[in-house]
């Protein structure tokens, strides 16, 4: 997908720059819009199960209007060609600090008193993830770009 331009249903175009992560349901890419603003694009492919498609679309529509400093805003979504198959994608804000788990772990390593809080947060997030998997494939992402870099 590197170099591919995708068109979202909200009318935005994004060019895929490079892969930045992989998860259980797809691949996340760094992309740029026409003005070179960076975004994260999560791609799920192939999508042959109608229930997977419906769940993805319901999650997108239920989160499109959410506004919070603590959630990644969904900018656009749509379908794209992944190799010879069709895939679904969601475009969110890009957080240069990366995955929230890496940020939290690095913070806890530098601040030993925070390890207990981190353990509580991890238990909570695992429980929440378990609950959301019953209804949705895409989960809300915590916004780490508001946190200071840990390098």
> Under a CB-based contact definition with an 8 Å cutoff, are residues 53 and 88 in contact?
yes
> Under a CB-based contact definition with an 8 Å cutoff, are residues 28 and 22 in contact?
yes
The CATH number of the domain holding residue 68 is: 1.10.510.10
Highest mean pLDDT of the ranges 37-46, 98-107, 123-132, 139-148:
37-46
Q: Can you tell me which residue has the tokens 């909200």?
A: 10
The answer to whether residue 148 is domain-embedded is no
Does residue 151 or residue 14 have the better pLDDT?
14
The answer to whether residue 147 is domain-embedded is no
Q: Considering only CA atoms, which of 120, 33, 44 is closest in space to residue 79?
A: 44
Per the structure, the complete domain to which residue 87 belongs is given by 5-133
Q: What is the pLDDT of residues 5-52, one digit of tens each?
A: 999 998 999 999 999 988 777 899 999 999 999 999 999 888 888 888
Confidence of residue 148 (pLDDT cuts 50, 70, 90): very low
Interatomic CA distance for residues 21 and 151, integer angstroms? 19
pLDDT of residue 57: 83
The answer to whether residue 20 is domain-embedded is yes
Q: How many domains does the chain have?
A: 1
The answer to whether residue 146 is domain-embedded is no
pTM: 0.69
pLDDT of residue 144: 46
Interatomic CA distance for residues 18 and 131, integer angstroms? 31
pLDDT of residue 89: 94
pLDDT of residue 19: 94
Q: Is the pLDDT of residue 78 over 70?
A: yes
pLDDT of residue 138: 43
> Under a CB-based contact definition with an 8 Å cutoff, are residues 41 and 14 in contact?
yes
The answer to whether residue 95 is domain-embedded is yes
């Amino acid at each position: 997908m590197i170099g591919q331009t995708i068109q979202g249903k909200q009318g935005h175009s994004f060019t895929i720059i490079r892969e930045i992560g992989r998860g259980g349901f797809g691949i996340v890419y760094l992309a740029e819009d026409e003005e070179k603003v960076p975004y994260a694009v999560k791609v799920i492919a192939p999508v042959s199960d109608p229930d997977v498609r419906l769940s993805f679309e319901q999650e997108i529509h239920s989160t499109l209007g959410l506004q919070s400093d603590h959630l990644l805003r969904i900018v656009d979504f749509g379908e794209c060609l992944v190799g010879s198959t069709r895939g679904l994608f969601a475009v969110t804000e890009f957080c240069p600090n990366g995955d929230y788990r890496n940020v939290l772990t690095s913070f806890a390593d530098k601040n030993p008193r925070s390890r207990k809080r981190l353990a509580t947060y991890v238990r909570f997030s695992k429980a929440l993830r378990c609950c959301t998997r019953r209804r949705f494939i895409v989960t809300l992402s915590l916004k780490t770009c508001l946190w200071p870099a840990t390098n």
